[in-house]
Structure 1
Amino acid sequence: MSENNWVNLFKDADTGIETLHAHFEGHAYDPHWHDSYLVGFTETGVQQFDCRGQRHVSTPGAVFMLDPGEIHDGEAPAEAGFTYRTLYIDPHWLEREMRVLFPDAASTAQAGFTQTLAMDPALAHAIAGAWDSLQAPELRIVRQGVLDRFLARLSPHLQWRIPLQQDPRLPAVARRARDYLHAHLTEDIDLDRLAQIAGADRFRLSRAFKAAFGLAPHAYLVQLRLARARHLLAQGQTPVQVASALGFADQSHLGRWFMRAYRMTPAHYRKRCTNLPD
């Protein structure tokens, strides 16, 4: 990791939105996902990332939009690196606010982005305004007005979809393994045992799982734990407590995986989201 890399993070208590401002040179972060919607724009440089089965190149002013759970990575193909701002938006907050703009959407529908990357200068400006408003000690009514303008600019990029209970495109063995990992994410799961539960040998399971979800089973389990770790840290639990609760060997083990995915330590994330001392 370059010594020129930096990350600034803040979490708004009212909306639960996390605001991130960061700069990276070279490799930024490994494939990972977030439980939140991710909306941001590239300020300077060239930002390259893989998502939805293709490589995207974001240049200054380009807006990137990811749904919860979408796997992505990041790197700087140019020596100067890239700088970007991002809003990590709580799904419950976004759905509640967006249903005011889409009153006819089915109650069981979920909002999703129609594209990953777009050149939309008005939306980029609205993201910057929302970012600044969430960072500043502003009157609530002023902040709500800024956020409403941001949501209005974001809405053309959203569509409402009815989620499938079981996606028929995914192999049954991969679905069964995924469901087991979600239900037992804190356990030290053996691949042979997982394959037995899924109804396949471990080699077939690994191939089917990666084809379906973009990660091998062990990497998927780590991402499940990291997503839960973010929630627990934001609630004020210490890195030691979180590592123990989620089945990591120790605090250092959690820290290594957390740094690879988010380029910050668990202690730094906790401090920025809770204002509690390390």
Structure 2
Amino acid sequence: MAKDWLELRQHADTGIETIRAHFEGHAYDPHWHDSYLVGMTLTGTQQFQCRRERHRSTPGDAFLLEPGEIHDGDAPVMGGFTYLTFYLDERWLGQTLRGLYESVPDSYSLHFSHTIAREPQLVRAIAGTFTALHNDEMRIVQQSNMDALLSQLTYHCQWRKRLPAQRQSAAIAHRAREYLHAHMGDNLGLDDLARETGTDRFTLTRCFKREFHLTPHAWLIQLRLAHARAMLAQGEQPASVAAALGFADQSHLGRWFVRVYRLTPAHYRRLCTNLPDDARK
């Protein structure tokens, strides 16, 4: 833990977070993001579970994760690993890349073809974009690098037709997820979700795990953490964020935040806003 380090910056114009970090041993617990994650391994070996597979990313490898994809992270060999990454808003990336194709129906959604990509041109585009954003270079440099990255990503994307919500299991899971979104700060029980979806607790949990690979409770924690990041980045105090999102108290939020992001909420807030701990909006 003492040798671990993390640099995080939030780009002023776009809000894109850029992260460069080094971890040895266990890096972070299973979690998901509400954005597309694009990055590359700089040194060492990064190991993580995603899409029901164990992946290893070594220097020069790009890694591409979609919103909602559960992944963890650890260093399987001595010396740990160093990587850089940034998050791209789901709606923005889908709309932008859609414009690079001749015709993509609205009923199709954007997916990455592979989790690990060993393509030098893509890796160079990721490195260039990261450097331009992280170092806040001239806007024309930032935008040129971003356009080059988007062009490279088209070779690693595919459009899939969204599955119709006719399957009963998927329909139950998605209704439960929508309810969790709408009531994320409430003290919900499985009975509440079962009643909302017209089923029993056991069927609900089985359907939810089949669709999202997490129990409703574990998924709700991840949802709250994703919203906590957004609120902290806007300058909200950790205590008020914890209260708004249904955490028992600030310590409860802090324990989960560190497990998943390896930062305290207060530290993350400072990195995004440069506000001191006692500043309030």
How far apart are the structure 2 equivalents of 1:147 and 1:140? 10
How far apart are the structure 2 equivalents of 1:173 and 1:96? 28
| 1:79 to partner: Cα distance | 2.4
Structure 2 counterparts to residues 97-136 of structure 1, below 5 A: 97-136=96-135
* Residue 146 of structure 2: aligned partner: 147
| 1:136 to partner: Cα distance | 2.1
Q: Deviations over 1:200-240 (max 9, x none)?
A: 44344333322321111211110111111111112221111
**One-letter code of the match for 1:263?**
R
* Residue 52 of structure 1: aligned partner: 51
**One-letter code of the match for 1:60?**
P
* Residue 62 of structure 1: aligned partner: 61
Q: Deviations over 1:83-135 (max 9, x none)?
A: 11101112233234323322422245332211111111221111111111002
| 1:188 to partner: Cα distance | 0.9
Q: Deviations over 1:28-59 (max 9, x none)?
A: 11111111110111111111111111111111
* Residue 209 of structure 1: aligned partner: 208
How far apart are the structure 2 equivalents of 1:103 and 1:155? 12
| 1:169 to partner: Cα distance | 7.8
Identify if the C-alpha distance between structure 1 residues 212 and 137 changes in structure 2 by more than 3 Å, giving closer, same or farther.
closer
How far apart are the structure 1 equivalents of 2:196 and 2:94? 35
SS at structure 1 position matched to 2:248: coil
* Residue 261 of structure 2: aligned partner: 262
How far apart are the structure 2 equivalents of 1:92 and 1:216? 26
* Residue 159 of structure 2: aligned partner: 160
Give the % identical residues: 57
Structure 2 counterparts to residues 150-229 of structure 1, below 5 A: 150-164=149-163, 166=165, 168=167, 170-229=169-228
| 1:256 to partner: Cα distance | 0.7
How far apart are the structure 2 equivalents of 1:87 and 1:107? 26
Structure 2 counterparts to residues 20-99 of structure 1, below 5 A: 20-99=19-98
Preserved CA contact (<8 Å) 1:16 1:89: no
Q: Deviations over 1:167-198 (max 9, x none)?
A: 73844443343332222111111233333444
SS at structure 1 position matched to 2:141: helix
Identify if the C-alpha distance between structure 1 residues 105 and 248 changes in structure 2 by more than 3 Å, giving closer, same or farther.
same
How far apart are the structure 1 equivalents of 2:154 and 2:2? 38
| 1:60 to partner: Cα distance | 1.3
Q: Across the two proteins, how many residue pairs are aligned to each other?
A: 277
* Residue 242 of structure 1: aligned partner: 241
Bigger shift: residues 138-147 or 107-116: 107-116
Preserved CA contact (<8 Å) 1:48 1:76: yes
How far apart are the structure 2 equivalents of 1:127 and 1:105? 25
Preserved CA contact (<8 Å) 1:15 1:93: no
How far apart are the structure 2 equivalents of 1:197 and 1:130? 44
**One-letter code of the match for 2:251?**
S
Preserved CA contact (<8 Å) 1:36 1:91: yes
Q: Deviations over 1:5-38 (max 9, x none)?
A: 1111111121221111011111111111111110
SS at structure 1 position matched to 2:14: coil
TM-score by length of 2: 0.91
Preserved CA contact (<8 Å) 2:11 2:136: no
SS at structure 1 position matched to 2:269: helix
Identify if the C-alpha distance between structure 1 residues 200 and 64 changes in structure 2 by more than 3 Å, giving closer, same or farther.
same
**One-letter code of the match for 2:272?**
C
Q: Where does the alignment leave 5 or more consecutive residues of structure 1 unmatched? A: none
* Residue 232 of structure 2: aligned partner: 233
How far apart are the structure 2 equivalents of 1:161 and 1:273? 35
Preserved CA contact (<8 Å) 1:23 1:83: yes
SS at structure 2 position matched to 1:101: coil
How far apart are the structure 2 equivalents of 1:204 and 1:135? 46
Q: CA RMSD in A?
A: 2.0
Q: Where does the alignment leave 5 or more consecutive residues of structure 2 unmatched? A: none
TM-score by length of 1: 0.92
